[in-house]
Structure 1
Amino acid sequence: EVRRDLAVIVDKSLPAAELMKNVRAVAGSYLKDLRLFDVYEGKGIDPKRKSLALGLTFRDHSRTLSDD
């Protein structure tokens, strides 16, 4: 099992569910879990945008995944 965190800056009007749907569509069959763990609006981010932080967990039952 491999976990990766990803932070993406998007327009405030974009629902997190829409971003997550798109991530699921391109992540492939090894993606086993996708969670939104932070939404940030404030210092360092354009007032019309927000940062969405996602946790992605990948797993393959037939072999061990690595960072390669």
Structure 2
Amino acid sequence: MELSKNEFKILKILMTSNGKIVSRDKLMKRLWDNDWYVDDNTLTVNINRLRTRLKQIGLDNFIQTKRGLGYIIM
């Protein structure tokens, strides 16, 4: 499976978080660590694209959203 740079980073961050919830803020800081303002929707789009790619290889619902908290790999 081919992933974009940001999709790969998101997957790596979630997989190395040892089953813990990763906040949207933490993901955004790790992905775009600069002074530019990055729209919150940009992360949502990247997460959705990654979910679509994972679903194509049989990993449906691999990334779970914990409303108000962030994301976790199940």
Same fold (TM over 0.5): no
Higher percent of residues as strand? 1
Q: What TM-score, normalized to structure 1?
A: 0.33
Higher-Rg structure is 1
